[in-house]
Structure 1
Amino acid sequence: MTYTRTPTLASPVTLMDAKHHLRVMHDDEDLLIQRYILAAAREIEAYCEIALTRQTISLTVLAEGGDIIPLPVGPLAPDAEVTANGTPLVNSIMPGRWPVLILPETMTGPIALTYEAGFADTSASVPDDLQLAIMEQAAFAYDNRGSVDVRPGLVPAAARICARYRRVRA
């Protein structure tokens, strides 16, 4: 299933928290550190198939009325509205970390779905362990910037945390 994300610019970790974690006391590299935070967050979101801060998720599915469709990115944002072909769906969602949509019987064919996912709008709503994973990943990138010997992927500390949030597929 392919989908697109339209993220907000809200940071899942505050710059101050990241600078404390990195032990950076000056302001000269604030923009660079913020970029590492966002890059680490996007890597973790892709690995776990989650949204840390509010994002709009759009996808098209070929479905029959009554189909049960697992939404690809969780959790469903607080007060999120799910639309199918522009029509809001009410009482058709089973929320949770991995929300599920039950299509109304009248909807068939290609259906454009849009919904908002994410823990909320600010870093205060992102679970502490995921914030730590982001800071560990950002610290690794910051400490190894410019190195050609570094292998891509999550650092072990971030991978252990993310494993608890990753969806298991049958």
Structure 2
Amino acid sequence: MRARVDGDFEDMDIQRLADTAAAEIEAHCGLALLGQVVTVTLQAWCKRIPLAIGPFWPEGLADHPVTVELLDEAGNITPHPAGWWITPGRYPVLNLTASVHGAALRIRYPAGYGTRTDSIPPDLQLAIADHAAMLYDARGFDDEMPQGLSMAAARIAARHRRVAI
């Protein structure tokens, strides 16, 4: 990392850059770094539904249980009448035991590594710090600095991205 910081008068700006770097890593990887509730609404689905944001956060279930609901054309909401279960992990999957029809299916589930920043894997913490340092050093430059993630952050993030065919 290469951020050249003198003093603490820019701490709030640096925190904003770190938050921005974390958000960019989340978007790039399809991750929830810190615990949060993800809501997905689908108009078409099958019995096996890969969930876009991971990892599944089992510790969050006490406060944020998984809900699977059907929405009809009028916007009425009913719990999904058939059984279902979640395959947890980095790439969670909702598995429905039966096909049920409706206008939409809404799924809410907890995702993230935990509630504290030290619950984020160390390599992703480094990616956030390196990318924040690049953003800090790029202040005031318009066209001279490369766009996108820092090279180190991109390499680290590549290990956490979902690959699909």
What do residues 120-160 of structure 1 show as CA deviations (whole Å, max 9, x unaligned)?
Answer: 00111000000000000000000111210223201110111
Change (3 A) 1:124 1:87: farther
Query: Which residue of 80, 92, 100 maps to 1:99?
Result: 92
- 1:124 and 2:124 aligned: no
Query: Which residue of 5, 18, 23 maps to 1:42?
Result: 23
**How many percent of aligned residue pairs carry the same amino acid?**
45
Query: Which residue of 53, 61, 67 maps to 1:83?
Result: 67
C-alpha separation in 2, matches of 1:49 and 1:125: 17
C-alpha separation in 2, matches of 1:71 and 1:94: 10
The equivalent of 1:26 in structure 2 is 7
Tell me how many residue pairs correspond in the alignment.
150
Q: Which SS does the other structure have where 1:35 is aligned?
A: helix
Kept in 2: contact 1:84–1:114 (CA 8 A): yes
Change (3 A) 1:72 1:63: same
The equivalent of 2:50 in structure 1 is 70
Kept in 1: contact 2:83–2:98 (CA 8 A): no
Change (3 A) 1:62 1:157: same
The equivalent of 1:147 in structure 2 is 141
Change (3 A) 1:90 1:141: farther
Change (3 A) 1:42 1:90: farther
Kept in 2: contact 1:76–1:117 (CA 8 A): yes
RMSD (CA atoms): 2.4
C-alpha separation in 2, matches of 1:91 and 1:59: 16
Larger CA Rg, structure 1 vs 2: 2
The equivalent of 1:12 in structure 2 is none
Specify which structure has the bigger relative contact order, considering alpha-carbon pairs within 8 angstroms and separated by 6 or more residues.
Answer: 2
- 1:165 and 2:156 aligned: no
Name the amino acid aligned to 2:96.
L
Kept in 1: contact 2:84–2:97 (CA 8 A): no
Give ranges in structure 2 of 5+ residues lacking alignment.
70-77
Kept in 2: contact 1:78–1:120 (CA 8 A): no
C-alpha separation in 1, matches of 2:36 and 2:56: 10
State the TM-score, normalized to the length of structure 2.
Answer: 0.81
Kept in 2: contact 1:82–1:114 (CA 8 A): yes
Give ranges in structure 1 of 5+ residues lacking alignment.
1-19
Change (3 A) 1:132 1:162: same
